[in-house]
Structure 1
Amino acid sequence: MATAVQPLPSQPLARLSLPPHSTLPRRVDGAWWPRSRDLLVELPLLIGELPRAWGQITGVSVNSEMWHASPGRMLVANHVVRLHRTSGPHGRHVLRLLSGPGRARRDLLVVPPELVAADAEPLMAAVAAAEAGGARSPR
């Protein structure tokens, strides 16, 4: 009797919600709902889903209270991404992405992985629907 070969499970896609492109500033540039608090697993999935227009991500700032311990840098898609850890309540749910030679910055609202879909999905949709034109919060 022949055994059917089951395909390997595909890599899960990052749960990422981005508003339509705009040249006006936004408080946040999108929302990300990771599946865990493990940056070594989650960050490569996220970076792989980002728009090409955002450029090559070279640095990421995260809040130490939000994520499990991680190294100061990691290899993602054959390039080094430096991880900067911050602490304190300010920016706890924000992931800051730095890219390119000019160090362009994009901020993503991080939806806690423990949140159930009924709570997380409307939040992500609201971020994607937010109108451009709001100035970035002071940092």
Structure 2
Amino acid sequence: MATALQPLPAQPVARLRLAPPSTSPRPIDGAWWPRSRDLLVELPLLLGGLPAAWGQITGVTVNNAMWSAGPGRMLVANHVVRLRRSAGSYGRHTVCLLSPGHGRWDLLVVPPEVDAADAEPLMAAAAGEAR
């Protein structure tokens, strides 16, 4: 008797809201709401959800207090991403993404333990959406 093959579970998508493109610099370019504090799991999802116009992200700066320990670099979608960690309260709830020749983007990081009712307005505000 043959058994039916079960479909593979779908890869989760990043919970991400980005501000519309602008020629003016802004302090926050959107928001990211990861599902855990494991950067090795969450970062590939984030980078996979970014617009192609942002180019290849090669550097990411995160706050030590927000994320579990990890390496100084990792392979994401067949390219190396350098991870930098900052200490202190500055930038605790942000992630900085660098793409040579394309720019820098700072995203608000909504902690994973925040519930949806509280996360949604934070993400909308960071993306510049009127509520």
Q: Give the CA deviation at 1:109.
A: 0.4
Q: 2:117 is matched by which residue type in structure 1?
A: A
Aligned to 1:99: 99
Instruction: Classify the secondary structure of the residue corresponding to 1:74.
Output: strand
Provide the rounded CA distance (Å) in 2 between the counterparts of 1:81 and 1:99: 10
1:39-71 residue CA offsets vs partner (Å, 9 max, x unmatched):
100000100010111111010000000000000
Measure the CA separation in 1 of the matches of 2:48 and 2:102: 19
Quote the Cα distance in structure 2 between the aligned partners of 1:45 and 1:28.
20
User: In structure 2, how many angstroms separate the alpha carbons of the residues matched to 1:89 and 1:13?
Assistant: 28
Alignment gaps of 5+ in structure 1:
132-139
**Structure-1 separation of matches of 2:97 and 2:129:** 20
Q: Deviations over 1:54-111 (max 9, x none)?
A: 11101000000000000000000111000000000111001000112x4721100000
Query: Any residues of structure 2 matched to 1:99-118 within 5 Å, and which?
Result: 99-100=99-100, 102=101, 104-118=103-117
Does the 8 A contact of 2:64 with 2:85 survive in 1? Answer: yes
Structure 1: distance between partners of 2:2 and 2:105: 52
In the alignment, structure 1 residue 32 sits paired with structure 2 residue 32: yes
Structure 2 regions of 5+ residues with no counterpart? none
> What RMSD over aligned residues (CA atoms) do the two structures have, in Å?
1.5
Please state if 1:119 is matched with 2:118.
yes
Alignment of 1:34-73 (within 5 A): 34-73=34-73
Q: Distance in 2 between matches of 1:63 and 1:130?
A: 26
For the residues of structure 2 that align with 1:54 and 1:2, how far apart are their CA atoms? 47
Compute the TM-score of the two structures, normalised by the length of structure 1: 0.88
Q: Return the alpha-carbon distance in structure 2 between the equivalents of residues 119 and 8 of structure 1.
A: 32
Q: Give the partner amino acid of 2:123.
A: M
* Percent identical residues: 73
Quote the Cα distance in structure 2 between the aligned partners of 1:6 and 1:80: 33
Letter in 2 for 1:97: L
Q: In structure 2, what residue type is equivalent to 1:112?
A: P
Q: Distance in 1 between matches of 2:5 and 2:118?
A: 38
